Amino acid sequence: MIRIAVVNCNTTESMTETAASRARLAVGPDVEIVGITPAWGVASAEGWYDSFISAAAVLQTLETLPDDIDGVVMAGFGEHGREGARELLSIPVVDITEAAAHLAMPLGRRYGVVTTVRRAVGQIEDSLTTAGLIDRCAAIEDTGLGVLELDEDPFATAEAFVEAGQRAIAKGAEVICLGCAGMAGLEEHVRDRLPVPVIDGVAAAAALVETLIRQGLSTSKIDSFATPLAKRRSWSV
């Protein structure tokens, strides 16, 4: 049995379950998906301040990850902490931002991202740049919806996504990526309304982690993601 942790970037339990449920549909029957919610942090990550708090909470959570977890999906689109998690853990760690882009690139020459609020765009740009994936990104468009608004009116969310997706397509996107873990599953409702493939990063990341595990691959620890130096670290004052 393979066990993959889907780690939410915020403290909202319903979003953890949304992401975990979508991940379960993307992996084989012998894979167990374990949803993990940080014990502290932010209810929704929307902006630099939230993102840095979220990263600290997630990294502390990963310090006590159960020993029988074989891989990790970081379910925060554009949020910080990815590189720190790869230093901390010796198992595969895949972020949904890069996973969505990686899966999009074989399907079209350029991809676009549709996210929540406008202030998330810069973070996503930086995350894709750090991952070496920004050159193939045609556009990052926002729906104007807050993370916690996504489930309030599914019809309005789908409408806003389609409109933003059309803007991204007009700018050259040939594939669209869902730009928030809270959007997981939305692709099922908008695929028929957009003339391009629509990719959910949670499903993409779960499938990629599963593949890495089955091939016996994990993060290189020789240099960039070497284990953190031993020293005293304190999470409280």
Determine the pLDDT at residue 235.
74
Tens of pLDDT, residues 94-153: 999 999 999 999 999 999 999 999 999 999 999 999 999 999 999 999 999 989 888 888
Determine the pLDDT at residue 96.
98
Tens of pLDDT, residues 109-118: 999 999 999 9
Tens of pLDDT, residues 24-48: 999 999 999 999 999 999 999 999 9
Q: Which CATH number fits domain 2-96+203-214: 1.10.472.10, 3.40.50.12500, 3.30.420.10, 3.90.1200.10?
A: 3.40.50.12500
Tens of pLDDT, residues 175-228: 999 999 999 989 988 989 999 999 999 999 999 999 999 999 999 999 999 999
% of the chain with per-residue pLDDT over 90? 91
Distances (CA, A) of 176 to 40, 113, 199: 32, 6, 6
Q: Does the domain spanning 97-201 belong to CATH 3.40.50.12500? A: yes
Residue range 58-62: average pLDDT? 97
Determine the pLDDT at residue 70.
98
**CATH 3.40.50.12500 intervals, the chain:** 2-96+203-214, 97-201
Determine the pLDDT at residue 152.
84
| Residue 237: pLDDT band with limits 50, 70, 90 | low
Dihedral sign computed on CA atoms, order 182, 185, 187, 193? negative
Q: Is 150 helix (H, G, I), strand (E, B) or coil?
A: coil
Cα(215)–Cα(205) distance, rounded to whole angstroms? 15
Q: Is 70 exceeded by the pLDDT of residue 233? A: yes
Q: How many CA atoms lie within 13 A of 174 on its CB side?
A: 9
Contacts of 105 (CB under 8 A, 6+ apart): 111, 133, 136, 175
Cα(89)–Cα(57) distance, rounded to whole angstroms? 15
| Residue 50: pLDDT band with limits 50, 70, 90 | very high
Determine the pLDDT at residue 189.
87
209 close to 92: Cβ distance less than 8 angstroms: yes
Cα(80)–Cα(49) distance, rounded to whole angstroms? 10
46 close to 74: Cβ distance less than 8 angstroms: no
